[in-house]
Chains A and B, each alone.
Chain A
């Protein structure tokens, strides 16, 4: 297949995943802003930082007013990372790769773009926000379903999956990066009750607060949350899960193309060197350092994939 087409499928998947992740981040931010108006500004700031949109936001805005942040992240055409911008880029990439998509897969993406375009035509009222965010997640699910149900399991499919998991790993790591201080045993926390609302925000932003409780019961601890988000392989948004999947896709390409690229080796090294140790050892080495290193390795892998599979000239 064409390198450009592989790249378009990969980016299409990244953008789709990003729109879904950003919808979750907004949801979590919105919830905490409602219940704790005193810390709302700080929460919105951390949401923007996690989504990598804080700098752009501050170019035009003075303070972190709820309505402004939500509008900026949902539909501001000047924000290249707004959900509407991201969906448009996903669709443009899908058009570029149109010949590799089944009719169902293409129509799912195109319908998403049309549906969100009409939902986000005007500023979303606060009481409509939960519905709109649910619709965004739902659209993303429909696209995923059309892909899973109809696409040939060929190289194009593997490139799109690579994009999904690379983006998802990046997102989970960013959430940890922004909130890691909450997971550190600090002086302030000793003897005080753990900030449950903050924990919940982290878990909600990966849609896993229920799953966590199923797994660990009512006990909430920093170590367990970190373990859950970093190492737990049954949790579809954990770093270990994403890396496993990426290695499956890279391994498929290596076998089919008969060539073990640098990207294949780098993907394996993330799994083996970084994610194959107990959570206590990660804490010992410093959680912040671990996350920073992971984000760097993940980004380097992304660049290597683009090079090895000739996405651009």
Chain B
């Protein structure tokens, strides 16, 4: 019943598995669900929506009327991961994040990996996110990727792929936390029956992790602040949520200025220095004196303070090069180069359209592939071949031929499904997973689970919230 089919591909359902028999991690939940009254769950689902609205867990879609605040649909059926599945995933993620941080350090120092010819130089030199000003800089504690999110998809009982790396400013962690909070309020009895690992300590771990990266100039307890572009930003809820949960100030560019060689925030009693700035604005906007002069979001002169080692910026400027999808295709090499080990989690096979023979193959097989912009995000500007019309494909073919370097292509993955609750009962929908990773000199910490995004439309493979995707609570079971 739960098995989905589309475009001739069959999908792995994480609850029903290949055989249609409930898989082990879901057994307790399925027992509970079988005994529950569907109308009660329906009612709870409506309560959840009201709860999200009054709490203000909404987001603005860029380019739309700002009054139009939208909710990300929340599904009440959890996505459940067993302890052993999680151990395997978290080892792979940790290895990957360690390699990424080492790679960033190398790129901004000796560039050994380029010299060794393992990654083409032009992938860096042509990368808009590459910041020459970071060359030779040592960010406090040697950390570049303080917070990262590794997007993972599953295609079978034992098959996982890393879909992309988010080392710039991964968002969504507030949904992970609020989804759990909502589930706890709606179905407390479930958590009494089933041992699920906690996620609620994320904000405190974030604070500890950031504080552990304080610059040498800081003595005493580091002052941490969160920098937001302001209330009209689509992720503002998350910014204020994290600041609130950490007990840190939520600042905007106009609250900050450089005073006595330090970045300081304007308080009711004068300027107070900040040691660690968790910024949720892009590199370009950080410092109008050193980057985009028209930026009103940043702090004039912060760059000089940073260079002088008197503030920590998290994530470090210039980490965005790692989010590049062309660079992504080199991740297995990057991991091997810095860790001396094979990648524990495989990449999705990727065609680099910048290479003529690969481009040719992509053009020949366009109707079956997924094509993405190298710098794209949010599910925009991509082609899902099997779901596209002939007209879409023709239009995309033209774009691809005009600027092949801008694209990569991947096979259309048969993403796993997890059931969602619908009026007609459980129905399989495709999901992905974004675990959140904290890194400091004290180590790497991965919150068990992460954010599960789910395509709410039948058959759809696009899970992005900007395109109608929803979320689920993600459970990692205790051993």
- Residues A106 and B56 in contact in the complex (CB < 8 Å), given A92-B231, A95-B240, A98-B250: yes
**Interface residue stretch chosen among A1-9, A132-140, A233-241, A292-300:** A1-9
Contacts of B443 in A (CB 8 A): none
Q: Is the interface of A mostly helix, strand, loop or mixed?
A: helix
Contacts of B53 in A (CB 8 A): 114
Beta-carbon contact of A1 and B56 below 8 Å: no
Chain A: CB-nearest residue to B271: A310
Q: How far is the CB of B71 from chain A (nearest CB, A)?
A: 12
Beta-carbon contact of A2 and B54 below 8 Å: no
Chain A: CB-nearest residue to B244: A99
Contacts of B236 in A (CB 8 A): 95
Contact for B268 among A6, A103, A107, CB less than 8 A: A6
Q: In this assembly, does B97 line the interface, its C-beta being within 8 Å of a C-beta of chain A?
A: no
- Residues A313 and B254 in contact in the complex (CB < 8 Å), given A95-B231, A106-B56: yes
Beta-carbon contact of A99 and B231 below 8 Å: no
A-contacting residues, B246-274, CB 8 Å: 249-252, 254-255, 257, 265-270
Beta-carbon contact of B243 and A310 below 8 Å: no
Interface residues on A, range: 20 to 34
Beta-carbon contact of B56 and A95 below 8 Å: yes
Contacts of B270 in A (CB 8 A): 310
Contact for B56 among A3, A110, A310, A313, CB less than 8 A: A110
Beta-carbon contact of B250 and A310 below 8 Å: no
- Residues A107 and B55 in contact in the complex (CB < 8 Å), given A2-B255, A99-B244: yes
Contacts of A106 in B (CB 8 A): 56
Q: In this assembly, does A96 line the interface, its C-beta being within 8 Å of a C-beta of chain B?
A: yes
Contact for B269 among A95, A114, A257, CB less than 8 A: A257
Chain A: CB-nearest residue to B231: A95
What is the CA–CA distance of A111 and B50 in the complex, to the nearest angstrom?
10
Residues 28-41 of chain A, each 1 if its beta carbon lies under 8 Å from chain B, else 0: 00000000000000
Contacts of B269 in A (CB 8 A): 257, 259
Q: In this assembly, does A64 line the interface, its C-beta being within 8 Å of a C-beta of chain B?
A: no
Contacts of A5 in B (CB 8 A): 249-250
What is the CA–CA distance of A159 and B53 in the complex, to the nearest angstrom?
27
Q: How far is the CB of A154 from chain B (nearest CB, A)?
A: 11
Q: How far is the CB of A165 from chain B (nearest CB, A)?
A: 18
A-contacting residues, B42-90, CB 8 Å: 53-56
Beta-carbon contact of B231 and A114 below 8 Å: no
Q: List 23 A-B contacts (CB under 8 A).
A: A1-B268, A2-B249, A2-B251, A2-B265, A2-B267, A3-B268, A4-B255, A4-B266, A6-B268, A92-B231, A95-B56, A95-B231, A95-B240, A96-B231, A98-B244, A99-B249, A107-B56, A110-B55, A114-B53, A114-B54, A257-B268, A259-B269, A309-B268
Task: Please report A residues at the B interface, Cβ cutoff 8 Å.
Answer: 1-6, 92, 95-96, 98-99, 103, 106-107, 110-111, 114, 155, 159, 257, 259, 309-310, 313
3 tightest A-B CB contacts, nearest first: A98-B240, A99-B244, A309-B268
Beyond A99-B244, A103-B55, 18 additional contacts (C-beta under 8 Å) are A4-B251, A4-B254, A4-B266, A5-B250, A95-B56, A95-B240, A98-B244, A99-B243, A107-B56, A110-B54, A111-B54, A114-B53, A155-B268, A159-B268, A259-B269, A309-B268, A310-B267, A310-B268
